[in-house]
Amino acid sequence: DTLLNTSLKRELANFGRFLQLVVEHKHKIGFKGTILIEPKPHEPTKHQYDFDTATVYGFLKKNGLENEVKVNIEANHATLAGHSFDHEIAMADALGIFGSIDINRGDPQN
């Protein structure tokens, strides 16, 4: 993985705008469900906006989406981020973005 041909600023702005459009559409059609992001380190790349719950919160806050989008916490992804499952759940709760949990065994190797 390399960042040589990547404009992180543009990628972050594009994904932020995409999520804003998703939320706008949600309200337009009257969808009452929750929009979720799953923090996922190293999937599909090492360098991304959704490494862990705190990173996702910063991304959502920067794009004015912290009250619109929640996180889905997966135990194995917490481990890959160097955190415990408990930590990620507690962090999501403290930041007001806890949405759901994904319980699966995963593969602890990356």
Each residue's pLDDT tens digit, 36-94? 999 988 776 666 778 899 999 999 999 999 999 999 999 888 888 889 999 999 999 99
Global pTM value: 0.86
Domain span holding position 45: 8-102
Instruction: In whole angstroms, give the CA distance from residue 101 to residue 77.
Output: 11
Q: Specify the pLDDT at position 24.
A: 98
Cis before 44? omega within 30: yes
Instruction: In whole angstroms, give the CA distance from residue 78 to residue 99.
Output: 15
Q: Specify the pLDDT at position 71.
A: 97
For residue 1, being part of any structural domain is answered with no
For residue 3, being part of any structural domain is answered with no
For residue 110, being part of any structural domain is answered with no
Please count the structural domains in the chain: 1
- Between 23 and 105, the more confident residue is 23
